Amino acid sequence: MAHSYRRILVKLSGEALMAPDGYWLHPQTLAQLAEDLARATRGGFEIALVIGGGNIIRGARMSAAGWIDRPTADSMGMLATVMNSLALETALNAAGVSARTMSAVSMPTICETYARQPALHHLDKGQVLVLAGGTGNPFFTTDTSAVLRAAELHCHAVLKATQVDGVYSADPKTNPEAIRYDHITHDEAIARDLKIMDTAAFALARESRLPVIVGCVHAPSSITAILEGTAPSTLVAP
């Protein structure tokens, strides 16, 4: 069943861009992702994107190792998201889509600084918005940034693009009896302790009554197929 949402915040993991040999960026994957997003925009969807930086650095993991403090490590992670966002913006432009990177961390010689009103203007003009730099603050994940920006920019839903085709009752990789949910409420997800997003992000989605679509971006699925309802996904909605 196709989703009725038109303005979507797509949350991608940085790992989605990695090459098979472990290099942080895989040009073919980037090009395929850009083509997928181009199809979605041609299908009438308005797209904003938040991409993580885990293919380059993970601030929480670095700080846990004990040799660098968490705020500094998170700042490094924010810079990693800017690198990924610029790569994705370039790929989208090459795919024929007008894209604009905006960073919560101000770096005006590299990209536009995020502000809500200009961001809304870009979306209203039909541009794909690539939102970099997380929230601009340490201790907040890119999941939280995605939900925050979705709420700010009047997005109808967040699409959390993952490695699996929805939310399951248990890990489907280790439990063949795991059941995939087609639809579940925020309250049910919390009650069943389903790890859809980190706690702060999911609490904000629940408070904002913001639907979260969970699906897989790897073939045979795609962002466009999830949004058009031709690929399996889970809808988490009030």
Predicted confidence (pLDDT) per residue in 109-141, tens digit: 999 999 999 999 999 999 999 999 999 999 999
**219 phi/psi in degrees, rounded to 5:** -55, 145
Cα separation, 26 vs 20, in Å, equals 8
- In the structure, what pLDDT confidence band is assigned to residue 3 with cuts at 50, 70 and 90? low
Alpha helix locations (H) across 43-185? 59-64, 70-94, 116-124, 142-152
Neighbours of 46 (CB within 10 A): 22
Q: Give the pLDDT mean for 138-154.
A: 97
Residue 217 has pLDDT above 60, yes or no: yes
Class of domain 7-236 (CATH, top level): alpha beta
Cα separation, 72 vs 209, in Å, equals 33
State the pLDDT at residue 66. 85
